[in-house]
Amino acid sequence: MTTLSSHSGNTYDAPSSPSRLEVKDLQTWFYTRRGVVKAVDGVSFTLEPGETLGLVGESGSGKSITCLSILRLVPEPAGRIIGGEVWLGDTDLLQQSRHEMEKIRGRHVSMVLQDPMTSLNPVFNVEKQVGEGSMYHMGLHGTGLKERVQQLLRWVRIPAPEVRANDYPHQMSGGMRQRIVGAIALSSQPSVLIADEPTTSLDVTIQAQYLQLLKDLQEEHRFSMIFVTHDFGIVARVCDRVAVMYAGRIVEMAPTRELFSTPRHPYARALINSLPDPDTEVEWLTTIPGQPPSLYDLPPGCPFAPRCSEAMDICTQQYPPTFETGIADPGATGPPASHTAACWLYGDSNR
Amino acid sequence: MRTLADTGTTTRLVRARQVGGLWRLFRKAPLIPAVILLAVVISAVFARFLAPEAPTFGNLSDAFIPPAWVEGGSSAHLLGTDSLGRDVYSRIVYGARVSLIVSIFAIFIAGSIGTVMGLASGYFGGRVDGVIMRLVDIALALPTILMALVLVAVLQPGVATVIIVIGCLNWANYARQIRGEVLSVKERDFVILARSIGSSPARIMSRHILPNVFNTIIVLATLQVGSVILLEATLSFLGLGVPPPEPSWGQMVAEGRGFIVVAWWMALFPGVAIMLTVLSMNLMGDWLRDLLDPRLRQI
């Protein structure tokens, strides 16, 4: 009859007003001794309130740097955001001062990192770390803060939070730590959560649990999510729309179901083709020939052209603009139901 | 009803953990070093009651009396007397005061300056780092003793001057060491996570980085005790440290040096006092480091 949550009346449950996140032509370059690495080179997308956008692509395609750029956490001085706009509601995050950014991080946008083993500070107990955000953004102290931490731990389903709050990270399992990281990220009720491969280092059962937890939390607290992953299985489970990245650019963007049924860009098509089908027995899995290009000096045209089976002359000369290809799958409904691909195959002259 | 029972169990669990934690805290403290350091501290605080004679009282007719257990020794002077007939034991007891005060305060000053410099240098990098590290290079290139001599000569000799001079000359080691640690800690994911929820640089440095480099500070501080005591001794020996006849261990060793053949006890016992104190500090430092490392706490 008495539940554990009944005694903690808390007035801080209001999420920050849901805002649309719009990234326009974002460019983040790294200046190294060997030259300039255009890690992110003209990425644009929008994230509607409550939506989950998947960001897929191989290692080094710029997924993580895109995420770090949104929070303005690109490792300086090597990395610099060269251009573009990141609108959250009607604020351009790239125009904010450092101090204003500190108020935005956590409160409006926050992040879950890949490895829960290193995401937590080893010298503080869970309570101190989970409470940090609520302390900055809600001005909570003492008992109020303690109760808030308990509430957050219950959100992420930590058993016996009264006891666990006093534990140190090394006393917890990987899955539990990643839930703690989730609690930290959500502690100030942000409207956008960036999840950078949050399940990569968890085993499969824990992965499934964690994804379910994220979905449930999203339902309850109505944040939108950018979900970075290599795993198409996860994409299918959690994402409303997917953006496929290659060499620092988004090459295709479509509602999830649409992408799986009718991938347009040759790279996306090759990726989907290389997924093994459990019903057919094969000796060799399908792969994409060649190597991802070196980002140090990209060819003038489409970076995928050298590996592309459908490359044309123009592909090696000029980078294709983004073409609207139209929705093929009638069952696919994303908030803005559009399917785009950056490929000359869909240029007007080729239609 | 079930939840009520659960709550009872968890409360008991919490309490058991807290009590257990407190016990675990002291279980592994090294006993002998702790006793020695305690003895040094007690000597320093209660010197008046522990010393049979005033440290400056000497009777020339009692000069060079060997320790009590050696032939010719006197039970009135447990560790013998020095060239001026002063009781060595009493002087060691009083000398603890100077050594302790000088090393604690000097290391505190050096550690504070060095830690702030190292944190800023490592965290901000770039131009800040360049300027601070050049300052460190300069500080390390200066001949410490000569600089100390110049400074003490310019200022008024005395315990406070010695503390300030030693403190201001020793910060560079901390700064360099801590900068290195900060460079590795600041790249760790938990720092990025902390930044991603809106922590300011000051908070990151004080809450997330400082506790993770604290072990280094402790270990460095304990290692510095020896060199600080010796530096103080050198200054005292050269007449620019603690002004005689006020005793300090280093000064006693320095004085005993000239009589090492005829009166070995004059230099030996203060030397042993320095050695035991430094060794105990190092062992306590090790223990403290283990204690501060939560990964070892639950073992």
Q: How far apart are CA A22 and CA A45, in angstroms?
A: 6
Q: How far apart are CA A180 and CA A152, in angstroms?
A: 9
CA-based nearest residue in chain B for residue A115: B189
Contact criterion met (CB below 8 Å) for B286 and B227: no
Q: Is A21 helix (H, G, I), strand (E, B) or coil?
A: strand
Q: What pTM was computed for the model?
A: 0.75
Burial of residue A96, with CB atoms counted within 10 A of its CB: 0-12 exposed, 13-18 middle, 19 or more buried: middle
Q: Is B17 on the interface with A (CB under 8 A)?
A: yes
Q: Is B59 on the interface with A (CB under 8 A)?
A: no
- The encoded tokens of residue A203 equal 């085993």
Contact list in B for residue A120 (CB cut-off 8 A) is 190, 193
Contact list in A for residue B126 (CB cut-off 8 A) is 77
Other Cβ atoms within 10 Å of A263 Cβ, number: 22
B:89-128 residues touching chain A, CB 8 A cutoff? 125-126
The partner residue sitting opposite B196, judged by closest CB among A110, A114, A122, is A110
Q: How far apart are CA A303 and CA A292, in angstroms?
A: 8
Banded model confidence at residue A286, pLDDT cuts 50, 70, 90: confident
Q: What are the pLDDT digits (tens) for B112-157?
A: 999 999 999 999 988 999 999 999 999 888 888 888 888 888 887 7
Q: Is A91 helix (H, G, I), strand (E, B) or coil?
A: strand
The partner residue sitting opposite B195, judged by closest CB among A105, A114, A115, is A105
Query: Where in A113-165 does DSSP place strands (E)?
Result: none
A192-196 vs A109-112, strand pairing mode: parallel
Contact criterion met (CB below 8 Å) for A241 and A334: yes
Cis omega (within 30 of 0) on the bond before A293?
no
Q: How far apart are CA B277 and CA B297, in angstroms?
A: 26
Q: Is the pLDDT of residue B201 over 80?
A: yes
Contact list in A for residue B208 (CB cut-off 8 A) is 121
Q: Is the pLDDT of residue A1 over 80?
A: no
The partner residue sitting opposite B10, judged by closest CB among A75, A119, A162, is A162
Q: Is the pLDDT of residue B26 over 70?
A: no
Contact criterion met (CB below 8 Å) for A114 and A196: yes
Q: Which domains can be identified in chain A, with CATH numbers?
A: 21-239 (3.40.50.300), 250-350 (no CATH)
CB contact under 8 A, A122 and B11: no
Report pLDDT for A10: 39
Backbone dihedral angles phi then psi of residue A147, each to the nearest 5 degrees: -65, -40
The reply to whether CATH 1.10.3720.10 applies to domain B76-297 is yes
Q: How far apart are CA A41 and CA A35, in angstroms?
A: 15
- The encoded tokens of residue A182 equal 């989730």
Other Cβ atoms within 10 Å of A278 Cβ, number: 6
Q: How far is CA A230 from the centre of its chain?
A: 11
Q: Is B298 on the interface with A (CB under 8 A)?
A: yes
Q: What are the pLDDT digits (tens) for A102-161?
A: 889 988 999 998 888 888 988 888 998 999 888 888 888 888 899 999 999 999 998 888
Q: What are the pLDDT digits (tens) for B257-290?
A: 888 888 888 888 988 988 888 888 878 877 777 7
Each domain of chain B, given as residue ranges in start order, spans: 76-297
Rounded mean pLDDT, A69-74:
92
Q: What are the pLDDT digits (tens) for A189-228?
A: 899 999 998 888 888 888 899 999 999 999 888 899 999 9
B235 vs A249, which has greater pLDDT? Answer: A249
Q: Is A219 left (phi over 0), alpha (psi -120 to 50) or beta?
A: alpha
Q: Is the pLDDT of residue A351 over 50?
A: no
Return mean pLDDT, chain B.
Answer: 81
Q: How far apart are CA B92 and CA B78, in angstroms?
A: 11
Banded model confidence at residue A55, pLDDT cuts 50, 70, 90: very high
Tell me the shortest Cα–Cα distance from B4 to chain A, in angstroms: 8
- The encoded tokens of residue A253 equal 């963007």
Report pLDDT for B4: 45
Banded model confidence at residue A7, pLDDT cuts 50, 70, 90: very low
Q: What are the pLDDT digits (tens) for B75-100?
A: 777 887 887 888 888 888 988 888 88
CB contact under 8 A, A110 and B197: yes
- The encoded tokens of residue A142 equal 């003492």
Rounded mean pLDDT, A343-347:
86
A21-32 vs A35-47, strand pairing mode: antiparallel
Tell me the shortest Cα–Cα distance from A32 to chain B, in angstroms: 15
For chain A, the residue count is 351
Contact list in B for residue A104 (CB cut-off 8 A) is 198
Q: How far apart are CA A140 and CA A134, in angstroms?
A: 6
Contact criterion met (CB below 8 Å) for B105 and B113: no
Report pLDDT for A349: 56
A19 vs A167, which has greater pLDDT? Answer: A167
CB contact under 8 A, B199 and A136: yes
Q: How far apart are CA A156 and CA A180, in angstroms?
A: 7
Report pLDDT for A16: 55
* Percent of chain A whose predicted confidence (pLDDT) is above 90: 32
CB contact under 8 A, B3 and A107: no
Q: What single DSSP character describes residue B81?
A: B
- Helix-strand-coil split of chain B, %, nearest 5: 75, 0, 25
Contact criterion met (CB below 8 Å) for A99 and A45: no
State whether ipTM is beyond 0.85. no
Contacts of B226 (CB under 8 A, 6+ apart): B274, B278, B281
Q: How far apart are CA B255 and CA A71, in angstroms?
A: 65
Q: Is B275 left (phi over 0), alpha (psi -120 to 50) or beta?
A: alpha
Q: Is A149 helix (H, G, I), strand (E, B) or coil?
A: helix
CB contact under 8 A, A184 and B208: no
The closest alpha carbon to A264, from A277, A250, A275, A278, belongs to A250
Greatest alpha-carbon pair distance for chain A in Å reads: 73
Q: What single DSSP character describes residue B205?
A: I
CA-based nearest residue in chain A for residue B299: A171
H or E segment to which residue A132 belongs:
helix A126-138
Q: How far apart are CA A252 and CA A244, in angstroms?
A: 5
Reduce the secondary structure of B84-144 to three states and give it as a string.
CCEEHHHHHHHHHHHHHHHHHHHHHHHHHHHHHHHHHHHHHCHHHHHHHHHHHHHHHHCCH
Report pLDDT for B227: 76
Q: Is B196 on the interface with A (CB under 8 A)?
A: yes
Banded model confidence at residue A233, pLDDT cuts 50, 70, 90: confident
CA-based nearest residue in chain B for residue A129: B194
Contact criterion met (CB below 8 Å) for A234 and A211: yes
Contact list in A for residue B195 (CB cut-off 8 A) is 71, 73, 105
CB contact under 8 A, A118 and B7: no
Neighbouring C-alpha atoms within 13 Å toward the C-beta of A294: 5
Q: What single DSSP character describes residue B65?
A: P
